[in-house]
Amino acid sequence: MELFVGFLVLIIIVLIANIKIVPQAHAYIVERLGAFHASWGVGLHFKIPVVEKVVKKVSLKEQVVDFPPQPVITKDNVTMQIDTVVYFQITDPRLYTYGVELPMSAIENLTATTLRNIIGDMELDESLTSRDVINTKMRAILDEATDPWGIKINRVELKNIIPPAGIREAMEKQMKAERERRESILRAEGEKKSAVLVAEGKKESRILEAEAEKQSQILKAEAEKEAAIRIAEGEAQAIREVQKATAEGLKMLNEASPSDAVLAIKGMEAFAKAADGKATKIIVPSELQGLAGLATSIKEIVSDNDNK
């Protein structure tokens, strides 16, 4: 009885030991009697004891492998050290298991030879500035080469490109000279812009001064014009007043019916005013000469009467 119980317990232990649970993003390669039998996916599986065997557990996640620096020679015979990073994913666990021995070593060697072939067709300057081109070419070549191994190359990146020490020193000097050149250009452009702004400021200042002078002259001319107009208007008004007074005087004189003697006297007064101070020679009409004599005679008679 005890033997039976022990045998039953042994069978239960063996059965439990042969129950396999495949986790997410993994696959198990199972062989039956030494030959490939199945690729187990996610879930619960039972393995026949002794007959079946799990030979490989494969991760289906994207993996990253960083390869050490590889010496490469450019087209212009410059030796550089370049290390690469490869992102890959296993798409077929069976091909990955049986397609190639030591797949990581195979990918590393394939990466090194592909990198040497690509860099060998480029010169130093081109290789330093063409990382994207190199990455794209390497990804395409590696993906095609690893497809029979059940591996998908998602991305290839050049991590570091290390030229020789002498080349690095020359590049540093070149970069320093380039920075100094750019600094000189920026300084010259700044001085140029500053000079242009100063010149434009002076130009605008002169334009404003000329405009102000122009406006001042215009205002001055308008003021003089208005003053002349007012003076002319005043003189015209005075002339009109004089003419008006003269017309009124003539009207009143005409209404008074003056005698010839009065007219003669008024004429003499007018000539007297005309000759006052400035006239050196006055021509008196003949008709006024008689009246003048008559006026003198009347004045003498009046004087004699006053003396008596």
Domain range summary for the chain, segments of one domain joined by +: 2-59, 62-163, 260-273+283-297
Question: Tell me, which fold does domain 2-59 have in CATH?
Answer: SH3 type barrels. (2.30.30)
What is the overall mean pLDDT for the chain?
A: 82
For the ranges 81-85, 224-228, 261-265, the maximum mean pLDDT occurs at 81-85
Rounded Cα distance, 161 and 74, in Å: 12
Predicted confidence (pLDDT) at residue 297 exceeds the cutoff of 60:
no
Q: What is the mean pLDDT of residues 167-184?
A: 82
Which stretch of 6-15, 117-126, 203-212, 271-280 has the lowest confidence by average pLDDT? 271-280
Rounded Cα distance, 185 and 180, in Å: 9
Count the residues in the chain: 308
Provide the percentage of residues in the chain whose pLDDT is more than 70: 81
The residue type found at 146 is T
Q: Which of 113, 87, 106 is nearest to 148 (CA)?
A: 106
Of the pLDDT bands very low, low, confident and very high (cuts 50, 70, 90), residue 268 is low
- What would the pLDDT profile of 120-135 be if each residue is shown by its tens digit? 999 888 888 888 999 9
- Answer yes or no: same fold for 2-59 and 62-163: no
Rounded Cα distance, 211 and 222, in Å: 16
Of the pLDDT bands very low, low, confident and very high (cuts 50, 70, 90), residue 245 is confident
Predicted confidence (pLDDT) at residue 267 exceeds the cutoff of 90:
no
- What would the pLDDT profile of 39-81 be if each residue is shown by its tens digit? 999 999 999 988 999 999 999 999 999 999 989 999 888 888 9
The residue type found at 49 is P
Provide the percentage of residues in the chain whose pLDDT is more than 90: 34
Q: Please tell me the class of the 62-163 domain.
A: alpha beta
Q: What is the mean pLDDT of residues 236-246?
A: 79
SS3 281: coil
The C-alpha angle with vertex 306 and arms to 301 and 307, in degrees rounded to 5, equals 100
pLDDT for the residue 298 = 44
CB-based contacts of 64, cutoff 8 Å, min separation 6: 85, 86, 87
Q: What is the mean pLDDT of residues 6-26?
A: 87
* Single pTM value for the model: 0.55
Of the pLDDT bands very low, low, confident and very high (cuts 50, 70, 90), residue 21 is very high
